[in-house]
Amino acid sequence: MQKADIKNDDVSQTVHRVRLYISKMLAMQLSFELGLRMPLEDHIGDICRKARLQTNTELMNASRAAGVTEEDLKHWETHGVLDSPVNIEALSELLGLDPVKAVGVAEGWEPQGFDLAQWQKLYVITTTEGFEVNSFVIWDPDNKEAAIFDTGWFAESIFDLVESEELNMRHLFITHMHGDHVAAMGQIRKRWPEIQIYSNNEGAPEKTRVQTGKTVDVGCMGVTARLTPGHAIDGVTYVVDGWRGGVPAVAVVGDAIFSGSMGKDFSTPELAQSKVSEEILSLPEETLICPGHGPLTTVSEELAHNPFF
């Protein structure tokens, strides 16, 4: 093979790698944008089913309140739609939900859109394996110090982001140890063996256990932990403040609360709701809420529209 041929092959391989890299970046940006426009995690049927099971309400009584048969109610709980009208207000009253907010969700309420460019820097990565789960990456644009919140199903998009932004990945914060949120932890630890992990899981080594009241610095930002058990006994909400430009704080909440709903807890629902109210919805109303599933929202949006609160 001539030297010219070798050079041409090198150029072709370089062009291919550049094109592949650009494709990955575009895919990541699309995922990021879709993450802001994704539908609610729970439709109105999901919400009412959760509430029915959490309040131990008999299906017969719920169907009577809703004005439909038991079979139709089960269909509506699964799909969120039914040919026959459902008395959402009466059903919500029975289940302890806010009737006005429940009707609002049924009529198509969604949280407002957000320009994440104002948070320097916050990135949403959504991975899918049967269903979607959100992970979040933050970093200081000046010194490039970075942190991950939950790993999601796969770590490749995180790796691509770190490489493209030349980040110094230092921290991994775990909201809870359910499989979809930590599936890529092995990949993360293999890539960054020295990464500091934070978790409230009882099986975690003492050095990785979160400490409420203690601030972990990530560049110019500070991360504090608030315990939010319920959906998961080891549930933690991480509040990130100190963003450049004085923008509102960010609360990474795992599955404690979703936009218009909350994570299921059929064992300790009162605890789950009280912890969300005390530790998340007590934050300033402009606080950005980053849930493990579904779109981003704010404290003010959830106070005004979430039927559970």
- Domain ranges in the chain are 23-37+110-305, 44-106
**Span of 23-37, 86-100, 210-224, 279-293 with lowest mean pLDDT:** 23-37
Using CB atoms within 10 Å of the CB of residue 131, give its burial: 0 to 12 exposed, 13 to 18 middle, 19+ buried: exposed
Q: Between 6 and 38, where is the model more confident?
A: 38
The pLDDT value given to residue 36: 56
Model confidence at 162: pLDDT above 70? yes
By the 8 A CB rule, do 265 and 271 touch?
A: yes
Topology alike, domains 23-37+110-305 and 44-106: no
User: Tokens for 100?
Assistant: 């006005």
Please give the CATH topology (third level) of the domain spanning 23-37+110-305.
Metallo-beta-lactamase; Chain A (3.60.15)
The dotted CATH code for 44-106 is 1.10.260.40
What's the mean pLDDT when you consider all of the chain? 91
d(CA 192, CA 149): 15
pLDDT tens for each residue of 57-103: 999 999 999 999 999 999 999 999 999 999 999 999 999 999 999 99
pLDDT at 113: 86
User: Residue 152: what residue type?
Assistant: G
Q: What angle do CA 284, 257, 42 make, to 5 degrees?
A: 130
What residues contact residue 210 under an 8 Å CB cut-off, 6+ apart? 198, 199, 200, 225, 227, 236
- Residues contacting residue 115 through CB under 8 Å, at least 6 positions apart: none
- Residue 20's pLDDT is 42
Cβ(123)–Cβ(106) below 8 Å? no
Per-residue pLDDT reduced to its tens digit, 164-194: 999 999 999 999 999 999 999 999 999 999 9
Residue 27 has what pLDDT? 43
What band does 2 get if pLDDT is binned at 50, 70 and 90? low
AA letter at 190 = K
